[in-house]
Chains A and B, each alone.
Chain A
């Protein structure tokens, strides 16, 4: 990734734009936000409620879908005996290592590819092919080449994360307003400084979109890889529980996976929003 000094500082929220709103209006806005939050969480609450009562009332077979309460009890047990944490940390470690490696590789490579037009025209079709080859389809290849240890799992995460970041970096650089580049050149900047002062900051929103997409696939791909062959990790936990008929434990693992996915995504979405604030501002 670029060092902080290389990047332009992203704009801070402007006081001038937001202005100081009179209190009643702000209160009304808060009320609206609260109502929205309520509405948005209602569906989840109803779903969880259904999960609790459907098995309890015998609408579904509780051996296959145990009520939520039972799942939560199993979850607390797993958390208590340390199994949950050891598997979660195994998964997180792999996902984050792969993710960070991929971002660290894809951004500079993407910048290079995009800046040198011939390189870009040469490589873009091949990159499209790679991106559209589902990472999971390559799982056997990784296993054959790298075994079933940590390396192959991290490698597949790197693969899955690399292309969204790379392609978004390339397209971010490619869509820089030509006039901005021209005007920067007229201000006496050479190639490198035009890149640093105009091209890179203009591409940042798109790069962060790629990073968010990569975050989602990192977890997805890793869990799948862990289900196929691993001795630790949340994917392993779920498969292990399933094979041993520990159905509540299986759901507890699944719940943990969704929670981590949600959290990771939320962090990345907020980063993305921060990076592209000026772009969002352009549209209104």
Chain B
């Protein structure tokens, strides 16, 4: 099962220290993700991608606007949404299998069945045989596979991924990108995939939403008319891919903010080329 996500005029402000005006991390964000669609969200560091995902995840509430999943407004975290983080967030004292089972422990599934379902999902992510290993005995790629299995096991309607492959080496990342597409194809989930890599966004998304900072906004949404089979293999040499890639790059350039004097202290604005140039 999958459901669509709708964001309407979503804004998020954080109180700032010292009585200054609140800091607007997001302003006027509109986005419609159809059920079963794969949308990649690309933008420079600090533009509010994680903030947006926190809102959809139900961890924080928007200052303005509304967010619905499958037509229902969000009231908090819930099993209709599965999250995958860059840092895997696996429990180090649980085996791979037990970590996947964790995702089922808030459901009504009896224990015996939980185990069976967890095995099934570990198989889906290609980890059969690693069930009894602890996270520290797994490579980064394998850990992220466990995390993905955990977030899929309870059969959420949408999968929200925050730079899930950013901590992996290039080769592992490429493998997991392919795997993710295969899994998406098989499960038909709605996926929102956050990245700061242009290549990754174009490679994975059916559409690419481009975000810019200060305040965080979605400035363009591009269709990526690359069929599944063209995405597998050496898609980077595909002229269509190169064209789209350049288009996103230009969008990010255009919207690059002027050198801001009021940049928040914690996250200085970085030159865009470095942040999003290489995927």
Residues of A at the B interface (CB closer than 8 Å) are 8, 10-11, 14-17, 177, 179-180, 182-189, 193, 197-198, 201-202, 278-279, 281-282
**Given the complex of chains A and B, what is the CA–CA distance between A188 and B103 in angstroms?**
8
**Cβ distance A4 to chain B, nearest Cβ, rounded Å:** 15
Please list 15 pairs of residues, one from A and one from B, whose beta carbons are closer than 8 Å in the complex, sorted by A's number.
Answer: A11-B93, A14-B132, A16-B133, A17-B133, A17-B134, A17-B137, A185-B77, A186-B57, A186-B151, A187-B106, A188-B77, A193-B105, A193-B106, A278-B134, A279-B92
User: In the complex, what's the smallest C-beta–C-beta distance from A281 to chain B, in angstroms?
Assistant: 5
Q: How far is the CA of A17 from the CA of B96 in the complex (A)?
A: 14
| Residue of B89, B102, B107, B133 contacting most chain A CB atoms (<10 Å) | B89
Q: A187-B106, A188-B77 are in contact. Are A201 and B154 (CB under 8 A)?
A: no
Task: Determine chain B's interface SS by DSSP, over half rule.
Answer: loop
B87 contacts A189, C-beta separation under 8 Å: no
Task: List the one stretch of B78-86, B109-117, B211-219 in contact with chain A.
Answer: B78-86
Which of B59, B93, B103, B137 is in CB contact (< 8 Å) with A185?
B59
Query: Is B102 a contact partner of A14 (Cβ separation < 8 A)?
Result: no
Interface string of B133-168 (1 = CB under 8 A from A): 110110000000000001100100000000000000
Chain B: CB-nearest residue to A185: B77
Chain B hits for A177, CB < 8 A: 89
Given the complex, which residues of A lie within 8 Å of B93, measured CB to CB? Answer: 8, 10-11, 201-202, 278
In the docked arrangement, what's the CA distance between A58 and B137, Å? Answer: 60
Contact B106 A188 (CB under 8 A): yes
Q: A8-B94, A188-B78, A201-B91 are in contact. Are A182 and B137 (CB under 8 A)?
A: no
Given A8-B94, A14-B137, A281-B134, does the pair A188, B89 have CB atoms closer than 8 Å?
A: no
A197 touches B57 (CB 8 A): no
- Decide if B106 touches A189 in the complex (CB within 8 Å): yes
Residues of chain A within 8 A of B94, CB atoms compared: 8, 11
Q: Are A179 and B87 in touch, CB under 8 angstroms?
A: yes
Cα–Cα, bound, A184→B94 (Å)? 13
List chain A residues, Cβ under 8 A from B150. 187
B253 CB to closest chain A CB, in angstroms?
33
* Chain B residue at minimal CB-CB distance from A189: B106
- A186-B82, A188-B77, A188-B154 given; 12 more Cβ-contact pairs under 8 Å: A8-B93, A11-B94, A11-B95, A11-B134, A14-B137, A182-B59, A183-B85, A185-B77, A187-B79, A187-B103, A189-B105, A201-B91
B-side contacts of A15, CB under 8 Å: 132
Output the least CB separation between B117 and chain A (Å): 14
CB distance from B159 to the nearest CB of A (A): 11
Query: Chain B interface (Cβ within 8 Å of chain A)?
Result: 57, 59, 77-79, 81-83, 85, 87, 89, 91-95, 102-103, 105-107, 132-134, 136-137, 150-151, 154
For residue B137, which residues in chain A have a CB less than 8 angstroms away from its CB? Answer: 14, 16-17
Q: Which residues in B have their C-beta under 8 angstroms from that of A282?
A: 92, 136
| Interface majority SS (helix, strand, loop, mixed), chain A | helix
Chain B contacts for A278, CB-based, 8 A: 92-93, 134, 136
Residue of A nearest to B137 (CB): A17
User: Which residue of A is nearest B82, CB measured?
Assistant: A186
**Which single residue of chain A is at the shortest CB-CB distance from B138?**
A16
Which residues in A have their C-beta under 8 angstroms from that of B151?
A: 186
Q: How long is the Cα–Cα vector from A108 to B106 in the complex, in angstroms? A: 25
Chain A to chain B: the 6 pairs with minimum beta-carbon distance, closest first: A188-B106, A183-B89, A278-B93, A186-B83, A188-B79, A281-B136
Q: Which residues of A contact B107 (CB under 8 A)?
A: 188
Inter-chain CA distance A281–B83, complex, in Å, is: 26
Inter-chain contacts of B92 with A (CB < 8 A): 278-279, 281-282
A281 and B94 CA atoms in complex are apart in Å by 12
Task: Judge whether B133 and A14 touch: CB under 8 Å.
Answer: yes
A179 with B85: in contact, given A17-B137, A185-B59 (CB under 8 Å)?
yes
* Distance of A224 Cα from B91 Cα, bound (Å): 43
**Separation of A185 and B83 alpha carbons in the complex (Å):** 10
**Chain B contacts of A16 at CB under 8 A?**
132-133, 137
A59 CB to nearest B CB, Å? 54
Question: What's the minimum C-beta distance from B9 to chain A, rounded to whole angstroms?
Answer: 25
Please tell me if the beta carbons of B91 and A180 are within 8 angstroms of each other in the complex: yes
A8 to B95, CA, bound (A): 12
CB distance from B103 to the nearest CB of A (A): 5
**Counting chain B CB atoms within 10 Å of each CB, which of A10, A14, A202 scores highest?**
A14
Closest chain-A Cβ to B226's Cβ sits at a distance in Å of 31
Known: A187-B106, A188-B154. A14 touches B89 (CB 8 A): no
**Alpha-carbon separation in the docked complex, A170 to B107 (Å):** 30
Closest residue of B by beta carbon distance from A280: B136
In whole Å, how far is B121's beta carbon from the nearest beta carbon of chain A?
Answer: 13
Q: How far is the CA of A202 from the CA of B102 in the complex (A)?
A: 15
- For B133, the closest partner residue in chain A by CB is A16
Question: Who on chain B is nearest to A11 by CB?
Answer: B93
Q: Which residues of A contact B83 (CB under 8 A)?
A: 183, 186
Q: Do residues B106 and A182 form an inter-chain contact, with CB atoms below 8 A?
A: no
- Which of A17, A187, A202 has its CB near the most chain B CB atoms (within 10 A)? A187
- Looking at B79, B82, B106, B154, which has the most chain A CB atoms within 10 Å of its CB? B106
